[in-house]
């Protein structure tokens, strides 16, 4: 078996990361948030609007109110307040990964890698050991971003955990409801969702959607438990599956609203989602910075401690454009 020189690996891994930066960070910004094909865990970019920016971005909705007038051709009567912009500002925030690998850990990883090369599972000419070291960490980083920070996070600049990396969906929703930015007519009182009442309780939320939006491109973002409750209740009442078109067709029966399962949405504990959330596709925004100065991967070898430091810097964020485009339940 070839030996691995950690001091050399620090240089070659950093060079590999720089040469392949767009591809590697694409695992965070797109590929790494790609969900699970053939399941209701969709790619983030399938229902969130990807927005690139290195600081503040403006999420803007253009609203045009009533414009019709009688046809008096002798007068020009412009409606000065008919066209309105409703801007919402959002920011990306710096995030990082700081890891320290002992020499024994790297050697164990290398032995595993080399065994896969010998077995023909890995082609070292297209997937070098440097890529293996980088990918192992990025797999976990993507899970932390989606299932922890994006859903349940609350930003703390001095923090050291994934939960403190960004303000996530649960926290932002709580703030918007407390401030009445999400209005009372967007929230309906429901019972706790179970297998015995899933259809009725979720239909209460659907009934909130105004007719102007009912046939728009809507998604129902939900924990898996509530989707299962809907399906099992439907089968018990109607002796049939609500997805007659097959497993990939996951619209709520009688609507064009697609179920989207977010694995980080809990139904218990301090960050419990009491209800699915219905909104328009791409009202939510996944923000990221792809500028070279703000994204980097570097390795550094410490000879005395025989350890390899692994550092990643990047900027991401999450927000939405319109508070008025949410509909949800509130358990009595």
pLDDT in tens, 148-207: 999 999 999 999 999 999 999 999 999 999 999 999 999 999 999 999 999 999 999 999
Q: What is the pLDDT of residue 1?
A: 44
Q: Model pTM?
A: 0.85
> Tokens at residue 13, please?
């891994």
pLDDT digits 0-9 by tens, 7-58: 899 999 999 999 988 888 877 665 457 778 778 888 888 899 888 878 887 7
- Give the DSSP letter of residue 193: P
- The mean pLDDT of 97-120, rounded to a whole number, is 91
Tell whether 175 is covered by a domain: yes
- Considering only CA atoms, which of 165, 141, 140 is closest in space to residue 151? 165
Q: What is the DSSP letter of 112?
A: H
Domain residues for the domain of 117 are 6-58+88-331
In order of 42, 232, 260, 278, the CA distances from 252 in angstroms are 16, 13, 11, 11
Q: Does residue 27 lie within any of the structural domains?
A: yes
Kindly state whether residue 78 falls inside one of the protein's structural domains.
Answer: no
Q: How far apart are CA 133 and CA 41, in angstroms?
A: 27
Residue 63 has pLDDT above 90, yes or no: no
Residue 23 has a pLDDT of 84
Enter the tokens of residue 222. 């939900």
> Residue 259 falls within a domain, yes or no?
yes
The better pLDDT of the pair 99, 247 is held by: 99
Mean pLDDT computed over every residue of the chain:
88
CA distance 119 to 117: 5
**What is the per-residue DSSP string for 131-150?**
HHHHHHHHHHHHHIIIIIIH
What percent of the chain has pLDDT above 70?
A: 91
Tell me whether residue 68 is in a domain: no
Overall domain count for the chain: 1
**Would you state the pLDDT for residue 239?**
83
Residue 31 is predicted with a pLDDT of 46
What pLDDT was estimated at residue 79? 74
């Amino acid at each position: 078996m070839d030996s691995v020189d950690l001091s050399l690996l620090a240089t070659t891994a950093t060079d590999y990361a720089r040469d392949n930066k767009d591809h590697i960070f694409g695992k965070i910004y797109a590929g790494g948030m790609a969900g699970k094909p053939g399941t209701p865990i969709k790619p983030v970019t399938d229902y969130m609007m990807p927005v690139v920016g290195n600081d503040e971005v403006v999420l803007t909705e253009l609203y045009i109110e009533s414009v019709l007038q009688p046809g008096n051709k002798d007068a020009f009567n412009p409606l000065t307040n008919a066209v309105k912009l409703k801007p919402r500002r959002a920011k990306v925030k710096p995030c990082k990964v700081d890891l320290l690998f002992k020499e024994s850990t790297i050697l164990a990883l290398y032995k595993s890698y080399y065994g896969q090369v010998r077995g023909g599972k890995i082609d070292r000419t297209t997937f070098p050991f440097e890529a293996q070291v980088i990918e192992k960490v990025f797999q976990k980083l993507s899970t932390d971003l989606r299932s922890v920070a994006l859903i349940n996070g609350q930003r703390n600049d001095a923090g050291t955990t994934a939960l403190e990396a960004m303000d996530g969906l649960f926290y932002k929703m709580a703030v918007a409801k407390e401030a009445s930015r999400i209005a009372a007519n967007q929230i309906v009182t429901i019972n706790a969702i179970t297998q015995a009442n899933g259809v009725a309780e979720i239909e209460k939320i659907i009934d909130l959607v105004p007719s102007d939006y009912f046939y728009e491109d809507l998604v129902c973002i939900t924990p898996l438990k509530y989707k299962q409750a809907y399906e099992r209740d439907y089968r018990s009442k109607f002796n049939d599956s609500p997805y007659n078109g097959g497993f990939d067709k996951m619209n709520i029966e009688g609507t064009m609203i697609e179920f989207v399962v977010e694995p980080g949405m809990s139904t218990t504990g301090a960050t419990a989602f009491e209800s699915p959330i219905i909104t328009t596709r791409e009202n939510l925004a996944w923000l990221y910075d792809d500028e070279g100065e703000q994204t980097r991967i570097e390795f550094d070898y410490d000879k005395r401690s025989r350890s390899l430091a692994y550092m990643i810097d990047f900027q991401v964020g999450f927000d939405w454009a319109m508070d008025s485009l949410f509909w949800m339940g509130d358990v009595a």
